[in-house]
Structure 1
Amino acid sequence: MLRRQVERPRFSWADRAVLSALARHLPPVFRRHRLVTPGTLLTWHRRLVRWKWRQPPTGPGRPPLAEETVALIQRLARENPTWGYVRIQGELRRLGHRAAAATIRRVLRRLGLPPAPQRASEQTWRSFLRSQAHTLLACDFMHVETVFLKRLYVFFVMEIATRRVHVLGVTARPTGTWVTQLARNLLMDLEDRAGRFRFLIRDRDSKFTAAFDAVFAGNGTAVIPTPPQSPRSNAFAERWIRTVRTECTDRLLITGERHLRTVLNQYAEHYNAGRAHRSIGLRAPDDDPNVIPLPAATVRRHQVLGGLLNEYLTTSPRLPHHPQETPSSAS
């Protein structure tokens, strides 16, 4: 009964180490009555040797790329659609990252980015406008209802790169001849800057006649009509119409052409010189991007359109005035 109650002893690693070390020094009499066999001792010894020399488990193949390297590969591929795998590999090496061309191909496939020729051919209208922004002009009409329910039309042109707006004219009956003359006036106002513009985006309004296109063609500017019923193709001009309505014309009662022309001229001046734009780094179109304004102690408000809009200007504090003392004349 006692033998059935006693279970087989379980040795810990300390017990096994002690028994393995002392087994050689036991007398021959006790060796016959050892608790373990020689094969068990050898097995324990092999386990100890394997435990001593074991290494942390590693997965098969090469170690994976760092997340920052994968993100950099994706960025280079998206920002440069004409770069192939080897070109990206060379740029990574210049930046201190090493990756094989096959690895770059595998990463781009996993991210769903096609090879360079396909990426270059998938250029969107937005990316085209951004790449050509410094050579683009956009024009359009907007209408405003007066307090006497008379509709007035406003013709404007925007410089896409700087977002500078030119309000060219206001009339109740726009015609092709009127629009063509405003185009001539614009090129005269731009003077030397007119030569930098290569494209003009306009819709298919009947008031844009062949004479209108010929005015810009003489300046070397190609006219690009937007597809029918596609306002997004002229998104910059459409966005300005929404902005001027939200901030200006929808908050005023316009009485006539003269009133609307005065209001829009003041708003265009505010839009070009005193309003921050998200698309150009929260600067105004007329701000110098190379000038970093320093904080000033005095901030003054300048009201536009009778307080409808506010502009804030910084002024440096005035130094105390010390009148110069005139030396007394020698007697």
Structure 2
Amino acid sequence: MTPYAVRRESHSDFLTLRGLRYHVRQWGDESLVTPDRPPLVLLHGWMDVGASFQFLVDELASIEGPDRWIIAPDWRGFGLTETPQADGYWFPDYLGDLDALLDTLLAHAPADQQIDLVGHSMGGNVVMLYGGIRPKRIRRLVNLEGFGQPASRPEDAPGRYAKWLDELKEPSSLSSYKSVDGVARRLQKNNPLLPTDRADWLAAHWSAPDAAGDWRILGDPNHKRSNANIYRKEEALACWAAIEAPLLWVEGDQTDTDRWWAGRYTKAEFHERLSVVRRVEKHMLSPAGHMLHHDQPRALAERLKAFLGA
């Protein structure tokens, strides 16, 4: 198998954001920004890293050239970003980190500088909230399978808090692997559509060897704990309704939401919720599952180019 060949190289920076040492992967820099090509910010999902977007960046560069500043941070507790001294992770912190990241990277930009914002899965849920909270900051918004969560009821709160308290009593852990090849094969087990060359490349960015020589996922095990807060659908939809930017929604034809929610929340219900957003363009990629930026990076890049240039 020929190793995956990166076509557009990135560079890493470390920034202090809200007291945490944040790793930010960048392709290009602010000198590439034009009114038609503002900074493009890519936000990864749960148990992922910013490097996960390399295949998409490569395909985008092959279609339109490398003249775009692209930014992909590792969320707190993932990748090379520092892990906070806390027992859990909350969406307000992701919003705060994103706001601080943009304030820092765009410190010398005009006050009205907008960005194009893309989020996958958990990152997609973040961008939908942020798009309504900071609507003037976003020129184009892209959600890659950030479905939100099943609706909850206030009476669900006692049980959720109790579950969280119970989980605090048990240490969290993630599996380890004897080699980086073991990590790559796990990635392919999770996603059978992932080609071997991409899996091998991802594994080296998704994990690192520990002192004993075992390879461990670059993610805080505390991410596995239940969130103490119930999902408040009405609050989320109020943020979605405040989005002013055009929204591109992209999903994979093989994504099975029943695997996550067992019928408690369907794709049909999600699309009904999405109707609160004023301008939405929808696309489905095939064959593709939840990791559609790994499965169909070329097709996704073509959709992005058309949408961002519209």
- Quick check: TM above 0.5? no
- Superposition TM-score tier, normalisation by shorter sequence: under 0.3
The one of the two structures with greater contact order (alpha-carbon pairs below 8 A, sep at least 6) is: 2
Q: TM-score, normalised by structure 2?
A: 0.26
